Amino acid sequence: MTSTDLSRAVWRTSKRSQQNGACVEIANLAAHIGVRDSKAPDAGHLTLTPDAWAAFMAEARGGRFDLA
């Protein structure tokens, strides 16, 4: 397992996110996409390849996950 340097990560939420802090944040890293919970940014993160992120987003947009 390798470690990804997040010291310069710029974390963003969707423009559609609510202001209650219940959001997923993403960071576009050089060769990966970082994903974390905005309510607990120090609790850890996921690191995905761009292909894995694109596949996840396609499934989410297609209604595969219960996002409610």
Look at the block and give the residue holding tokens 């310069």.
Answer: 8
Domain coverage including residue 59: 8-68
CA angle 45, 51, 54 (to 5 degrees): 80
What total number of domains does the chain contain? 1
- The pLDDT of residue 68 is 67
User: How much is the pLDDT for 34?
Assistant: 94
Would residue 3 count as lying in a domain?
no
Give the span between the Cα atoms of 28 and 57, in whole angstroms.
14
Number of continuous H segments (helices) and E segments (strands) in the chain? 1, 3
Res 54: pLDDT: 96
Low-confidence ranges of the chain (pLDDT < 70): 1-3, 21, 67-68
What pLDDT is stored for residue 49 in this prediction? 95
Beta bridge partner(s), residue 35: 26, 46
- The pLDDT of residue 10 is 94
Determine, yes or no, domain membership for 61.
Answer: yes
